[in-house]
Structure 1
Amino acid sequence: MYVAVKGGERAIENAHAWLAEERRGDTSVAELSVEQIREQLALAVNRVMAEGSLYDPDLASLAIKQARGDLIEAIFLIRAYRTTLPRFGASLPVETGKMACDRRISATFKDLPGGQVLGPTFDYTHRLLDFKLAADGEVPEAATREAVSSDVPHVTEFLNHEGLIEEAPHDDTTPPDLTREPLEMPAERALRLQALTRADEGFTLGMAYSTQRGYARNHAFVGELRIGSVPVEMEIPELGFSIEIGEVTLTECETVNQFTGSKSEPPQFTRGYGLVFGQTERKAISMALVDRALRWEELGEEDEGAPAQDAEFVLYHADNIQATGFLEHIKLPHYVDFQAELELVRKLREEAGTNSVSEAAE
């Protein structure tokens, strides 16, 4: 047994060394730096920060490098590191209405106070490979790069003036912290939104797409999608007021959804909401669609049995770290379990063979 254990340790050490060698690749090619990843693979960095629940572009870039570009592995590294950090307090809720918007669009209103700002987006690109990038070609600078920095009201406020959309909920109670407490059902909306923020982007996208294809009849308009930076403030008890401790880049999406009304509510529009670290608009839109689908009960709608309406199904299967751990554990040694299954199958086959012989003899 001792020899087997030592042999296993040597094999693992060799596997780690081989992994490091594969990670580095051809040593004649310049090594990829953390700074290059942070500046040139920003969307991957944003996803790792969002699903890792830690806003730190440098650490997310390091995790991507260490994980050889495997974003789920990088998210795992970031979450593991986050658990080691001390907590000094909690920041105040951010004011997204004061966001310095790099991008702000609406699919519901053409003319907006402050205007629509296309910003950096793939929406209007031709999806053709740019071979200039392979030749390390320089890219032209944008003519203007000014963010909309004044107070920018949300589009849904225009509908709210006429009472055409439900009031945005205001709840001053401190929501549960999913990074410190396990998910439990039934989950209130604040907890569901936390789970969706750090949910796997692909899973959330698939759930959102299912709602658009009729599995929940969730016909939505993007009321507003905005991307930009917001200040983060924290109250200091000794000072008696809050101070700004930094800023974060966020993507916020509010969807406007149809609602026929109920016994207590007149026909009006309802909301879906998504808020994610960094420029992560596909995730934010998906999150808003799934959020709205999960609200069917509180809005008095019928349960159509759609997957996106099942909070337990969505939230318990959305976390890619939990899913990866459960999935990949089956590749680890299960020798004893398999031997038990093997003996059972052999016994069943033997009994089946004996019964067949007896029946033939009769």
Structure 2
Amino acid sequence: MVTSIKGGEKAIDASHRIVSKRRRGDPTVANLSVEQVREQLSLAVDRVMNEGSLYDPTLAALAIKQAEGDLIEAIYLLRAYRSTIPRFGFTKPLDTAAMLVRRRISTTHKDVPGGQYLGPTYDYTHRLLDFSLMRKGEDADGLPVEVEPDEATLTLRHDGGFFSRTDIIEAELPVDDKPVADLTREPMNFPSSRDQRLQNLARGDEGFLMGLCYSTMRGYGRNHPYVGEMRHGDVSVVVEIPELGLEVGIGSVKVTECRTVHLTTGKLDTAPHYTRGYGLLFGHSERKALSVAVVDRALRGGEFGEEKSYPAQDEEFVLSHSDSVQASGLVQHLKLPHYVDFQAEQQLLKQLRDDYDKRAEQAASKEQDHD
């Protein structure tokens, strides 16, 4: 028997109060501030800014606190807020070559012009719990915490090594004046353009994209990419003021840029060569930037005469299912009341079972007549 759930608005209000109480937790424990989230959970903040399509570390930290650490819910909150903000202008394209680099590596060459800088990374840590972090007011060595100077920054131009000056690798695409798509205001179209795809991937769920990236290297594509360059740092944001004929810097943003290279056998009229994948994201987001670059290259297969036979090469599959907010919305709506739908389905099921019983009876009757 199916019964209705009663309560309505009062039950929802009570649920909100319970959520607030749970969010606060034990009142004897110090309340977590937005500033603490922003400064000490920076990688979570960076993810929320990327998938929320809004560069604002403080608001992203607020969303994380409000969502009790549920990053997908925080992303939803940030997107909802962004949709209410008026747009008053457009910035010039970011010049990542002029980035103040905090970290820069290349896996294709040991020695690259300007050198490699490990910077902040977990790549070489021992994945062991550091229980010293549980001690209040002390660092990992048990000493009082002192404010460390920020990591050094420097400017390094892009350089892909010797092959960037030959025809062994795909040439950089020229910059043009065509309007750039804006997925925050216009829906995705298929077939998609590369600017639409890169925006969609930047907003996509990190875990989903990483799984697709993994699939291209393991049985669903013959793709082993190399990191031509991965860099993280600060880039100036510049706007043009037409009335004055000036370009003015209005601030800077932290970004992560990844350029991958992929061996491509080429078309019949093209010699085998290396092709490129690209990812550019807010904050320090190396794992996702690498995943975006690899999936970007997989989606470009048609440009190089490759047969579309794997999930990561199917743009409708990738781009339509990579958005964490849309995916979460459809999945979580299953928790909402479906009384009418379920009752209609029960009626359909009863009719199907009645038809089945009739066919069974007819079959049994025919068998008796035959005997």
Q: TM-score range by the shorter chain?
A: over 0.9
Structure 1 segment 25-174 matched on structure 2, within 5 A: 25-136=25-136, 137-139=138-140, 146-150=151-155, 152-156=156-160, 158-170=162-174, 171-174=176-179
Equivalent-residue separation in structure 2 for 1:57 and 1:285 (angstroms)? 22
Corresponding position: 1:199 with 2:225 = no
User: Residues 267 and 187 (structure 1 numbering): CA distance in 2 closer, same or farther, change over 3 Å?
Assistant: same
Name the CA shift for 1:142/1:135 in 2 (closer, same or farther; >3 Å): closer
Summarize deviations over 1:13-64 as a string: whole Å, max 9, x none. 0011111111111111100000000000000000000000000000000000
Letter aligned with residue 272 of structure 2: P
Distance in 2 (CA, whole Å) between partners of 1:27 and 1:191 is: 46
Aligned to 1:309: 313
1:356 is displaced (CA, Å) by 3.0
DSSP 3-state at the match of 1:168: coil
- Asked if residue 244 in structure 1 is aligned to residue 245 in structure 2, the reply is no
**Contact 2:301–2:307 under 8 Å retained in 1:** yes
Displacement of 1:354? 3.6
C-alpha RMSD of matched pairs (Å): 1.9
Distance 1:173 1:157 in 2: 30
Q: Is the 8 A contact 2:109 2:161 kept in 1?
A: no
Residues 207 and 31 (structure 1), Cα distance of their counterparts in 2 relative to 1, 3 Å cut: same
Is the aligned partner of 1:321 residue 2:322? Answer: no
Q: 1:144 to 1:58 in 2, by over 3 A?
A: closer
Cα deviation, residue 260, structure 1:
2.0
In 1, Cα distance between equivalents of 2:250 and 2:322: 32
Give distance in 1, aligned partners of 2:303 and 2:363. 61
Query: SS at 1:153's partner residue?
Result: coil
Taking the aligned partners of 1:143 and 1:337, their CA distance within structure 2 comes to 59
Give the Cα–Cα distance (whole angstroms) in 2 for the partners of residues 351 and 67 of structure 1: 49
CA–CA distance in structure 2, aligned partners of residues 360 and 282 of structure 1: 63
CA shift for structure 1 position 7: 3.3
Give the whole-Å Cα distance in 2 for the aligned partners of 1:341 and 1:128. Answer: 51
How many residue pairs were aligned? Answer: 357
Provide, for residues 308-333 of structure 1, a one-character-per-residue CA deviation record: whole Å limited to 9, x for no partner. Answer: 00000000000011111111112111
Answer yes or no: is the 8 Å Cα contact 2:113–2:159 preserved in 1: no
Letter in 2 for 1:64: I
1:144-165 Cα deviation digits (max 9, x unpaired): 8553423x12232642212221
Alignment of 1:229 with 2:234, yes or no, is yes
Q: Which residue of 1 aligns with 2:364?
A: 360
Corresponding residue number in structure 2 for 1:335: 339
CA positional deviation for 1:167: 1.0
- State how far apart, in whole Å, the 2-side matches of 1:244 and 1:21 are: 44
Are 1:164 and 1:269, in contact at CA under 8 Å, matched by a contact in 2? yes
> Whole-Å Cα distance in 1 between the matches of residues 199 and 133 of structure 2?
37
Inter-CA distance 338–26: structure 2 relative to 1 (3 Å threshold)? same
Per-residue CA deviation, residues 152-189 of structure 1 (Å, 9 max, x unaligned), is: 12232642212221111123211110111011100011
Separation of aligned partners in 2, 1:202 and 1:331: 23
TM-score (norm 1): 0.94
Tell me if the contact between 1:104 and 1:225 (Cα under 8 Å) persists in the aligned partners.
yes
Letter paired with 1:300: G
Range that drifts further, 141-150 or 336-345: 141-150
Q: Do residues 24 (structure 1) and 24 (structure 2) align?
A: yes
Identity %: 56
TM-score, with length taken from structure 2:
0.92
Q: Does the aligned pair in 1 maintain the 2:112–2:161 contact within 8 Å?
A: no
The alpha carbon displacement at 1:341 in A equals: 0.9
Q: C-alpha separation between the residues in 2 aligned to 1:142 and 1:260?
A: 52
Matched residues in 1 for 2:283 and 2:190: separation?
29
Question: Which structure 2 residue ranges, 5 or more long, are not aligned?
Answer: none
Distance 1:123 1:143 in 2: 21
CA–CA separation in structure 1 for the residues paired with 2:350 and 2:49: 50
Give 1:58's aligned amino acid.
T
AA partner of residue 170 (structure 2):
E
Q: Which amino acid aligns with 2:324?
A: N
SS of equivalent residue, structure 2 residue 305: coil
Distance 1:258 1:25 in 2: 52
Change over 3 Å in CA distance of 1:255–1:81 after alignment to 2: same
Q: Is the 8 A contact 1:98 1:149 kept in 2?
A: no
CA distance in 2, matches of 1:226, 1:61: 24
Q: 1:262 to 1:355 in 2, by over 3 A?
A: closer
SS in 1 for 2:190: coil
